Amino acid sequence: MTLYRPFTCEDMLKFNRVNLDPLTETYAVGFYLQYLAKWPEYFMVAESPGGDIMGYIMGKVEGRTSDDWHGHVTALSVSSEYRRIRLAAELMQHLEDVSEKKKAMFVDLFVRKSNQVAVKMYEKLGYIVYRTVLDYYSSPNGEADEDAYDMRKPTSWDVNRKSIVTEKKVILPEELN
């Protein structure tokens, strides 16, 4: 049982159990607030009946051309105790719905190549690996940087599923626009 509601500033004071997860980054306050100020409908929190934050999704809509107009998943995280109940799928569905309304052609996201649990889940939700971005994730401890998968799923607006076709399957971070 999950309560879905828009993320609010005060949720940052309560999201520790989600954010202390090693694969979840805690960003500077300004980062979250930018999203709240610009794309509030893309930032949603899932709360348990007891009032704990179970997880949240944060995203935006962007693109230079109408073909490139797309929803983007910036962060999706579910607290360890609320995993495997399809919560991430629900949150993704919400983001896709919002993107549909905004006439986005596709939804995309970046994920660590090593995060197999996440990659598999996105594949199940209909995302495909559009391309690999080399050394996208920098490691703080001097370990090797990690590649990212740029995953995409076309929306109903992309009738011919053009948005998932690319010639270049592997790119460098600087080639991202």
Binding site for other proteins (CB under 8 A): 1-6, 8-10, 12-14, 16-17, 19-23, 26-30, 33-34, 36-38, 40-41, 44, 47-50, 52, 54, 80-86, 94, 98, 101-102, 116-117
Measured distance between the N- and C-terminal CA atoms of the chain, rounded to whole angstroms:
40
Residue closer to other proteins by CB (options 12, 134) is 12
Residue closer to other proteins by CB (options 22, 142) is 22
Residue closer to other proteins by CB (options 110, 161) is 110
Comparing C-alpha atoms, which of 167, 156, 62, 140 is closest to residue 108?
A: 62
**Phi, psi (degrees; rounded to nearest 5) at 98:** -60, -40
Task: Give the shortest CB-31-to-other proteins separation in angstroms.
Answer: 8
Task: Give the shortest CB-4-to-other proteins separation in angstroms.
Answer: 6
Residue closer to other proteins by CB (options 120, 162) is 120
Could you tell me the CA-to-CA distances from 50 to 1, 7, 12, 78, 81 in Å, in that order? 10, 17, 17, 16, 13
Side-chain-facing half-sphere of 9: CA atoms under 13 Å: 5
